[in-house]
Amino acid sequence: MPTMRNTRLAATLALAALTVSPAGAQGDNLLAANLFGDQVEGGGAGERATGDFNGLYDRASGELCYYLEADGIGGDATAAHIHKGKRGSTGAEVVTLEMAEMDEACVAVEAGAIAAMLRSPEDYYVDIHTAAHRDGAVRGQLKDD
């Protein structure tokens, strides 16, 4: 179901696509993931737990600005990250994310790390942790949306 946040994000991403940048470069800066509890290796918050990540990398500032939300994760989020790892495997933390309630958050990302994520988003995943699910409540592979 569309929410005000999703509508705002769509408008933000559409506006970003119209900003002055080399042809085609803006589309290469988008990352997204659909998160589910049953995608967490070793368990998670269950099949009803879901989340969404939608991000836009700003090459000028070196920041990844994003919306991250979760539902049905069995408590408050204690941490969120982007990890290097293909579907079905776990991997090292690459970016620490924050859960900014009903708002966009931005985080500085090392140029080499974001270049690798944008080149092969399927090699990275987003996860959200809770006190009850320290190894992850929900998880989703990145895609270039």
Q: Do residues 52 and 141 lie in contact, with contact meaning Cβ atoms separated by under 8 Å?
A: no
| pLDDT of amino acid 27 | 55
Assess contact for 78 and 71: CB atoms under 8 A. no
Question: What is the value of pTM for the model shown?
Answer: 0.80
pLDDT in tens, the chain (145 residues): 445 444 444 444 443 443 333 333 455 699 999 999 999 988 899 989 999 999 999 999 999 999 999 999 999 999 999 999 999 999 999 999 998 877 899 999 999 999 999 999 999 999 999 999 999 999 999 998 7
How many angstroms separate the CA atoms of 47 and 139, rounded?
Answer: 11
Q: Give the tokens for residue 13.
A: 């991403």
126 close to 142: Cβ distance less than 8 angstroms: yes
Domains and CATH numbers, the chain: 4-141 (2.60.40)
pLDDT of residue 26: 52
pLDDT value of residue 22: 39
What secondary structure letter does DSSP report for 88? T
Instruction: Count the residues in the chain.
Output: 145
pLDDT of residue 144: 82
Instruction: Tell me how crowded residue 129 is: count the other CB atoms within 10 A of its CB.
Output: 22
